[in-house]
Amino acid sequence: MKAHLLVPMLALCACSQLPSLPMMQQEEPAPSASASPAMIPAAPEVETVTIAPAANARTAEQFDTTSAAERAKAAAPQPGGERSLGSVVVSLGDPSKPGFWLETTLVSAPTEGRVVFPASGKSARVDLLPIEGGGARISLAAMRLIEAPLTDLPTLEVYAGGANS
């Protein structure tokens, strides 16, 4: 019985030797509606952190690891400078590959772009990634953001460019 206690005790001792992790910062409360525009701080740039879904993920919600801030950034309109690449029929890509992306033959090098699902009128800013062969695959996060049915083969309008291109 004493041998069974030895392993957990050693594990606890080993944990005490690990460097301490920084504490998570608490979110500041949102400014009140009565705050003047000069008092409201500018929104920070959204940092995209790629988080792979858990190994036991089974639902679309479990596979889609994007944050609300990442979804809001992807849904924001892309100001000017876009060019239409055409329309493409897409299928759902690898759901374990996080982020907002479209694998397509419409580009020959990775670039920033946007997809529009005409049926919902919604769009998403995505990374356009080249692939060989036919067809196109879109990320789960992008498909959910534009409200395209996950089990269909929707036709999307694809645009390249924008403010950062």
- CATH number, domain containing residue 72: 2.40.40.20
3-state secondary structure the chain: CHHHHHHHHHHHHHHCCCCCCCCCCCCCCCCCCCCCHHHCCCCCCCCCCCCCCCCCCCCHHHHCCCCHHHHHHHHCCCCCCEEEEEEEECEECCCCCCCCEEEECCCCCCEEEEEEECCCCEEEEEEEEECCCCCCEECHHHHHHCCCCCCCCCEEEEEEECCCC
Residue 15 lies in a domain: no
Residue span of the structural domain in which 148 resides: 60-165
How many separate domains does the chain show? Answer: 1
Report the percent of the chain where pLDDT is more than 90.
Answer: 44
pLDDT, residue 134, reads 81
What band does 147 get if pLDDT is binned at 50, 70 and 90?
very high
Residue 54 lies in a domain: no
Pick 63 or 117 by higher pLDDT.
117
Residue 9 lies in a domain: no
Residue 95 lies in a domain: yes
Q: Is the pTM of this model over 0.95?
A: no
Most confident of 16-20, 72-76, 137-141, 161-165: 137-141
* 57-101 pLDDT, tens digit each: 767 777 777 777 777 777 776 667 889 999 999 999 999 999 999
Residue 158 lies in a domain: yes
What band does 53 get if pLDDT is binned at 50, 70 and 90?
low
Residue 23 has pLDDT above 80, yes or no: no
What band does 119 get if pLDDT is binned at 50, 70 and 90?
very high
pLDDT, residue 20, reads 44
Residue 44 lies in a domain: no
pLDDT, residue 100, reads 96
pLDDT, residue 79, reads 63
Mean pLDDT of 139-152: 95
Residue 30 lies in a domain: no
Residue 36 lies in a domain: no
